[in-house]
Structure 1
């Protein structure tokens, strides 16, 4: 049926309809009271309120029993069907909260280098929840972009949102194993002079970028020019360049866990530098009331805690 703008249903109180429907099914105020966990007097009062709203009697009240009026007999199937439909709608909403598509906004490197390697575990634990990864360097709007939860790289200052730290970030040099051999084998700090340095441009994420200058200072390396070499605005691009043997990249530990395991990369030096960046799980407080969001958050934090980086 077509409804004009501003249409509003004029309905009686839900409790009075519920009392009528239960009493009409049982033909008993006391049994309806037991079903709804109220007193028979409360049932009687709710039905009187409904009769006043409708302007017609619904029951013939006798000494020890009640029976429906003809009007009540006519509307009872419709009221029962209405409550059945309402119950089905509530069940569907509950199912949607527990399952369905969960949209996760995340920075590309975390998605490619860490999250996709662990998502199978979440899917096995929660087969009714399908994860949609929205990988972007841009900060997504939760409402406008339909984001359930976000994974962000930064200092953790996300005002008005729920924030949980996934893990801190440390950086260290990595390179292809083939750079340890050849004409200029990378075996000591001074050998960095003969190799291209790959830089990650962290942009405005932090005032103290974890860069080669910081690492060289911690290593006491003052005779190597650390400002040379290409810059990458996405950490994963620097990692891929290092895997290809194009140079030595200074990257975060969490981003290269799988590449180190597979032997695609090695750490030529043990020195690491703590970054003031960290990965954070971020979402509006209200989103945590969604079963699928809380399930993902609990799983991710537990997974990160069990995974060495």
Structure 2
């Protein structure tokens, strides 16, 4: 008789913990607690009658038995994922849902999207624009364009592009009663900025430009969405601290100008992010390839 298969939950916990060599990262990927992972592994070890992990103050390691067991379990889960993808893609799953920031969607992604639709008319694209990170498994999102350092447990992150930080304004502000000729002239104009991750952009740029603290404490207008700050700058109501990702198109169109040459390189960047188990599905591979071509 064939041996009875052990608990699927236990095998899943083992595969994930063995891949990361961490119960904590396995818990994050599977959206459960670290205690739950530990209990599932313990039950699996009891069921099999062997120890799979060595636990010590220095970290987690596979036993000899665990090292021998892991490749087969990992291969089985990969095959399950691929079989499921093929099943879903052969039915009605030609819809690709992308989550990204509102500013990236409106200022960068949407103007370029027609070329993807032309190349892949069989894939329906849905854009979910939001300011918070999403849980892929809970909200039905296939992939995301995220800003950060590329480290998200359980997710594949492919580098897309970096940002440059610099002031932008309406061409009208270069002339008039208080023309913008040097960074010191910023003291005479409202400074437009975006809250959240980019809230300190003005202070960083002004410091790099050698401007005194008084300039950095000048009047500000703060917005939740970058597109609102950019539109306010286009309307001539102040100078926006822009990021190349969402101001380059307006610069090319002449709606905005960059009054100064100084640009700061952001330490983070944009990534195309997908759950590891779906990273090689046809629709995601197609979108990833398209992104590499339009950048």
TM-score normalized by the length of structure 1: 0.64
State the alpha-carbon separation in 2 of the partners of residues 183 and 226 from structure 1.
22
Q: 2:153 aligns with which of 140, 148, 159?
A: 159
Name the counterpart of 1:285.
276
* Contact 2:166/2:258 (<8 A) preserved: yes
1:240 lines up with 2:231 in the alignment = yes
> Of residues 206, 227, 233 in structure 2, which corresponds to 1:216?
206
Q: Distance in 1 between matches of 2:165 and 2:200?
A: 7
Q: Could you tell me how far 1:93 is from its partner in structure 2?
A: 4.4
Structure 1 gap ranges (5+): 1-89, 305-309
Deviation at 1:183, TM superposition (A): 1.0
Cα gap change, 1:117 to 1:243, in 2 (>3 Å): same
Question: In the alignment, which residue of structure 2 is the partner of 1:149?
Answer: 143
Q: CA deviation at 1:223?
A: 6.5
Give structure 1 regions of 4+ aligned residues with deviation exceeding 2 angstroms. 90-97
The alignment of Structure 1 onto Structure 2 pairs a total of residues equal to 210
Kindly state the Cα deviation for residue 302 of structure 1 after the two structures are TM-superposed: 2.5
State the match for 1:260 in structure 2. 251
Give the direction of change, closer, same or farther, for the CA distance of 1:110–1:289 in structure 2 (3 Å limit): same
How far apart in 2 are the matches of 1:284 and 1:223?
A: 44
The corresponding residue for 1:193 is 187
Displacement of 1:94 after TM fit?
A: 4.3
Q: CA RMSD in A?
A: 2.0
> What's the offset of the Cα at 1:144?
1.4
Take 1:265 and 1:152, find their aligned partners in 2: how far apart are those partners? 25
CA contact (8 A) 1:212 1:226 kept: yes
2 CA distance for matches of 1:160 and 1:101? 23
**Counterpart check, 1:273 vs 2:264:** yes
SS at match of 1:143: helix
Q: Out of 144, 148, 162, which is 1:168 matched to?
A: 162
SS of the aligned residue for 1:184 comes to coil
Conserved? CA contact 1:190–1:224, under 8 Å: no
Deviation at 1:271?
0.4
Q: Distance in 1 between matches of 2:263 and 2:160?
A: 19
Q: Is contact 2:184–2:215 with CA below 8 Å preserved after alignment?
A: no
Instruction: Give 1 or 2: higher helix fraction.
Output: 2
- What are the superposed Cα offsets for residues 230-278 of structure 1, whole Å, 9 maximum, x if unpaired? 1122222111111111100111111111111111100000100122231
Cα contact 1:210–1:273 (8 A) shared by 2: no
Structure 1 residue 224: Cα displacement: 4.6
How far did 1:301 drift?
Answer: 2.4
State the TM-score, normalizing by the size of structure 2: 0.67
Q: Distance in 2 between matches of 1:297 and 1:125?
A: 13
Distance between the aligned counterparts of 1:297 and 1:275, measured in 2?
23
User: Gaps spanning 5+ residues in structure 2: where?
Assistant: 1-84
- CA deviations 1:82-116 (Å, max 9, x no partner) are xxxxxxxx99744448x621100011100000001
- Partners of 1:289 and 1:282 in 2: how far apart? 12
Cα distance in 1 for partners of 2:229, 2:89 equals 44
Give the match for residue 97 of structure 2.
Answer: 103
